[in-house]
Amino acid sequence: MQRNQTSGVATLIRRPAILYPLVAVIVILTGFGGYALYNQRPVAVEIVAEEHDVPVRVFGLGTVEARIRSDIGFEVGATLVQLNADEGDRVQQGDLLASLTLGEQQAKLEKAKAALLVAEATVEKANANLGKTRAILAQKKDANARKQSLAGQSVVSRQSAEEALMDEAVAEADVAVASSEIKVAQAQLADAGAQLRFEETMLRHRKVVAPYDAIVIDRHKEIGTVVKAGDPIFTLIAADTYWGLAHVDEARAGFIEEGQRVDARLRSRPQDAFTGRVVRIGLESDRVTEERRVFIKGDNPPPRVYLGEQVEFWITVATIDAALLVPEAAVQGFDGRQGSVWTVESSRLRSRVVSFGHRTEDARLEIVDGLPHGASVVARIVSGFREGRSARVVEAVGN
């Protein structure tokens, strides 16, 4: 009897209709059990460790520029006959750099000098004539006084006395005319002097001198070229006025201030370290690239600098005494000020909204508020994170 029952059960198990569903149920139950066991096990996490004396640097890409740069040329047009400088030359303030043909300008200057001599002679002649008319007036006054006295004594006729009076009046008029002629002569002298200075100025316009101690960056024209007024002949930069122009993302530029330390690396000299300071921050950002211009004066520039060379700048905007820095990749919903991070609290995972301060050049954010006491911040998010799950710290990063 027992053998018959055992044989019946074995027969039922061997039937496919019963065997396959039973196996499927067992597999499913085993899978759910394994999945539940897997999800309940503590997840291994890396946490952020507190760091000290952390420099916060902002990166900017830019070029070498010159603070004082000038394109200089002539204020008149003529043929270029002299060039005394070339690219790379150092010139001193007042050095003659180029000149134009003098042409008719020299003749105009000589004519103005002659006109000035004539005007001076005219003034001298007018002064002499005034002295003469004054002498005649004095003589006529004496003669008139005598004749008027004699006429009262009936020694001379009335007609003779009247003629003497008239002669004195004419002499006075001659003195007035002579005085006016002096003013006219003086005005002509002033005009001649102004004309001479004008012609001298026009002659000086045919020469170009260095406006300051400079380095010649480029020579645009050659001897024999007919140039127009305003055509650039040389491009100059003031000696020792090199500075760097860095373009910094607006999102990172808020903490930049004048006087902050800058580390720089020239593209042509990557093995050398150069330093400087922020000396100016542009008041207008680029509306297309959304970048701010920052000007940097170097402390130890190389002996030879090339304008336009690409430079990498790192501006130290702050140094944090003690900081908890979480990688930006471990922050969810970051809006520039706040975001969510995962923390380990009492060996359990929690999601917390925290506030951030500085952002380091390696894309880590400084947590400044919102972190409960005793909580550790997760440095890297892995699959399986959920609120309340057990967590096991395996490593602390950032030491």
Distance between CA atoms of 390 and 255, rounded to whole angstroms?
Answer: 40
Distance between terminal CA atoms of the chain? 76
Tens digit of each residue's pLDDT (9 = 90 or more) over 174-193: 888 888 888 888 898 899 88
- Homologous superfamily (CATH) for 58-66+239-320: Efflux pump adaptor protein, beta barrel domain (2.40.30.170)
Q: Distance between CA 318 and CA 389 in Å, rounded?
A: 37
Distance between CA atoms of residues 325 and 34, nearest Å? 37
Other Cβ atoms less than 10 A from the Cβ of 129: the count is: 18
Pick the CATH number of 69-101+206-237 from 3.40.50.150, 2.40.50.100, 1.10.40.60, 3.40.50.300: 2.40.50.100
Give every strand in the sheet of 90-91, ordered side by side: 69-73, 232-238, 214-219, 90-91
Q: What six digits make up the tokens of 11? A: 């027969």
CA 399 – CA 393 distance, rounded (Å): 15
Q: What is the pLDDT of residue 29?
A: 63
Phi, psi at 352, each rounded to 5°: -130, 140
Residue 65's SS3 state is strand
The topology under which CATH files domain 43-53+322-397 is 2.40.420
Reading the block at residue 214, the tokens are 């400079």
DSSP 166: H
What is the pLDDT, as a whole number, of residue 309? 93
pLDDT along the chain (399 residues), means of 10: 50 54 64 52 88 93 93 92 92 94 82 88 88 83 72 66 76 84 88 89 88 93 92 92 93 92 94 94 93 94 88 94 92 92 92 92 91 91 88 76
